[in-house]
Amino acid sequence: MHPALAIAAKDVRQRIRDRSAIVLGIVAPLVIAALMSLAFRGAETIHLTVGVVNSDHGAAAAGLLSALRSPGLKDLVTVVPEPSEGSASAAVHAGRAGAAIIIPSGFTNSVSRSRPLPLTTLTNVNNTVAAQITSSIAQSFVAQVNADRLSVATASAAGEPSGSAAAALDKAHLSLPIRTVQSALGAKRLKTISYYGPSMAIFFLLFTISFTARSFFVERDQGNIERMLAAPLRPRSVLLGKVLSAFVFGIVSLSIIAAVTTFAFGADWGNPLAAGLLSLAMVLAVTATTALVIGVAHTQRQAEGISSFAVFGLALLGGNFVFVSVTPPIMQRLALLTPNGWALRGYTDLATTGGGLAIVGLPIAAILVYTLVVATAASVLAPRALTP
Amino acid sequence: MATVEAVATKGPVLEVSGITRRFGDRLAVDDVSFSIPPGEIYGLLGPNGAGKTTTIKMICGLLQADSGTVRVAGHQAGTLAAKAVVGYVPQDVALYPDLTGRENLQFLGRLFGLSGGVLDERVDEALELSDLADRAGEHLSSYSGGMQRRLNIAAGLLNHPVLLVLDEPTVGVDPQSRHAILERVQSFGQLGMAVVYTTHYMEEAERVCDRVGIIDQGRLVAEGTRRELVDRLGERDRIDLGASGDIERWAEACRALDGVDGAAVADHQVQLLVHEGRKLLPAVLEAAERTGVQVSSVDVVEPDLEAVFLHLTGTALRE
């Protein structure tokens, strides 16, 4: 047996016996992924009730109601008529409606005048998602009405026969832009567990960096590394053995989490071969990062500090805690500097498009570039850790 | 019982020639040379920080010498060929508490390329040697300190080394375990193994070692058999005086006395190296009274390695 394999086998055996490693590598990611999935379950199938107070009953109001009940918004919005602003406010306050829209009396007639009446939306601070969607629908409607008003005004100025404002609006075929409806990028909607399963698996995989680097320095302080180096093996075999154990543990951990989240929680990791290769690349990146931490640190404490920084830095930047798509653009760009950011992008694409290897080609290439850069730095710095 | 692998070494198993090693400005080992034939137990005797551990790390290939050479069974130290025939027993127990005794030995054996039946044989042999065969399946953490020490030594024999290097193997060990360890080390020499044994315990060096090298401040100041080293003292005696008070001042006063060759303070004792000790005692006690020191014990000791160390370095071994 190659000495590196003997060292890796010994480390894996120790890690299996260490319950904290099992908890950190398998139990914790499963529990957290399940909890995250439970907590954000509503996010994947948003549906809200919108109260509408129609004090206008004109063509413009009918256009808005028609738009709210259109097939495009059918899955998102249920319209409930409210007799008055007071009852609408009470419904929003009580949570019976996510938000409400007040169409004021004379709204249709005011559209053709120079000072149209405003639409009012009633929202609840405790339901920001409903508030944002309702406001967005109302703003889109108003924007289109304004555009139609401009069209009518332009046509009148050009000498077109003018009819009533309502007729002009009828001709305009009021409808809401399709873009107001949230939709997944791919063909399939991303289930929360399909994001948080891989996300938490990777987050806890990152702890392998901390675990392995710490164990290296503990062994060095206790004379075990020196004893290994007294045997007929090349010093690099010791490092190789240590990171190999991290690799094996990472693969096993990811595989178990993928299997359990798939079969127990219904997560979709996508094409197994593509997901497997993506996972392999990610574990390689973690392994290289582990070697770099060992190379950079001088003591156990330093290793703990540096690896904690690496773990939480990568997790925060890569989007392991929140959907990267809802973060500011700068964060979305920063995520692409991290291997976990690319891995999550790959898993998400696999789950939403149903694609295969071609989908994860770019993420895998990006992760391997990261791995190559980090492994090169580690190969220069890490042998220093073996010098007494 | 462990046996020594056949190695074509007509000459010395270990040849150390003029090795020097610095750590920054500090000269840890300064031009040290010695050699060991097969079957000899060679003691490196010196106080803590004398350069013993640095020397053996260079022998085991764990450190590079700045200058000089080390050859083990004809191979340059640090090469895979040299490491394959050296058994290294570090000062601390370098084993894994969460592995069983057997698993620890199997792991270390694999690092020496052992496998299959040979590995099993060697592991069983080491367990027998350390009297731990019946507890082989228990985690090391359940072993007593002495048991761990015994296994630590046995692990150094897995590769059937021609050169066994033991770095202060009895530090922190109870008297019973120490006795057992010293007996085993003596048996290694009888098996034909060359042994380097570092210690700062004079009694151990006297009991176990065929030859002793005295090392101080990185320099090998003398070497030879116990008899040869003690003969260097001539007619000198060593007097150990237990006392309380300003014993440094008393030692200084003693150094000024005719017939005192050396005086050192260690462990609340003053060690004197003197000619005709019994005749000199009244003057020594008078100096104690003069310096206000209360003398609690007086022991005139037969010439030994401690006295040799005092004679050669002017300091006590356990200073």
pLDDT (tens digit per residue) in B14-63: 999 999 999 988 999 999 999 999 999 999 988 888 899 999 999 999 99
| pLDDT (mean) for B207-217 | 91
**Chain A residues inside the 8 Å CB shell of B76:** none
End-to-end CA distance of chain B: 39
Considering only alpha carbons, which residue of chain B is nearest residue A241?
A: B111
Q: What is the DSSP secondary structure assignment for residue B100, as one 8-state letter? A: B
Model confidence at A228: pLDDT above 90 = yes
Shared-domain flag, residues B19 and B150: yes
Looking at the partner chain, which of A10, A230, A232 has a beta carbon nearest the beta carbon of B62?
A230
Cβ within 8 Å, pair A230-B115: no
What per-residue confidence (pLDDT) applies to A128? 63
Cβ-Cβ contacts under 8 Å between A and B: the total is: 65
Distance of CA B211 to the CA centre of its chain: 11
Cβ within 8 Å, pair A14-B98: yes
Residue B113 touches partner A, C-beta closer than 8 Å: yes
Shared-domain flag, residues B255 and B285: yes
Chain B residues 76-95 within an 8 A CB cutoff of chain A? 80-81, 83-84, 86, 88, 90-95
What per-residue confidence (pLDDT) applies to B165? 95
Cβ within 8 Å, pair A3-B110: yes
Q: How many domains does chain B contain in total?
A: 2
Structural tokens at position B118: 């040979």
Cβ within 8 Å, pair A222-B99: no
Residue B115 touches partner A, C-beta closer than 8 Å: yes
Cβ within 8 Å, pair B108-A233: no
Q: Which of A67, A64, A65, A132 is nearest to A98 (CA)?
A: A132
Shared-domain flag, residues B196 and B277: no
Q: Fold for domain A47-180? A: abc type-2 transporter like fold (3.40.1710)
pLDDT (tens digit per residue) in A300-358: 999 999 999 999 999 989 888 877 766 777 888 888 899 999 999 899 888 878 788 88
Residue B134 structural domain: 14-229
Shared-domain flag, residues B283 and B200: no
Query: Is B203 part of a structural domain of the chain?
Result: yes
Query: Is B194 part of a structural domain of the chain?
Result: yes
Query: Is B319 part of a structural domain of the chain?
Result: no
What per-residue confidence (pLDDT) applies to B271? 86
Cβ within 8 Å, pair B98-A18: yes
Query: Is B308 part of a structural domain of the chain?
Result: no
Average pLDDT, chain B: 87
A134: confidence class by pLDDT, cuts 50, 70, 90: confident
Q: Which of B223, B220, B159, B265 is nearest to A233 (CA)?
A: B159
| pLDDT (mean) for A9-18 | 89
Average pLDDT, chain A: 82
Cβ within 8 Å, pair B111-A3: yes
What does B130-174 look like in DSSP terms, one character per residue?
TT-GGGTTSBGGGS-HHHHHHHHHHHTTTT--SEEEEESTTTT--
Q: How far apart are CA A339 and CA A240, in angstroms?
A: 21
Q: What is the DSSP secondary structure assignment for residue B114, as one 8-state letter? A: -
Handedness of CA A201, A202, A203, A206 (dihedral sign): positive
Q: How many CA atoms lie within 13 A of A314 on its CB side?
A: 29
pLDDT (tens digit per residue) in A22-55: 787 778 778 877 777 676 665 555 677 889 999 9
Shared-domain flag, residues B93 and B119: yes
Closest CA of chain B from A278, distance in Å:
33
| pLDDT (mean) for B157-161 | 92
The CATH code of the domain that includes B190 is 3.40.50.300
**Residue type, position B175, single letter:** P
Cβ within 8 Å, pair A6-B81: no
3-state secondary structure of A378: helix
Shared-domain flag, residues B80 and B151: yes
Q: How far apart are CA A60 and CA A57, in angstroms?
A: 8
Q: At CB < 8 Å, which residues of chain A contact B? A: 1, 3, 6-7, 10, 13-14, 17-18, 222-224, 226-234, 388
What does B232-268 look like in DSSP terms, one character per residue?
TTTTEEEEEEEEES-HHHHHHHHHTSTTEEEEEEETT
Q: What ipTM score was computed for the predicted complex, to two decimals?
A: 0.83
A168: confidence class by pLDDT, cuts 50, 70, 90: low
Closest CA of chain A from B36, distance in Å:
20
Q: Which residue has the higher pLDDT, A72 or A40?
A: A72
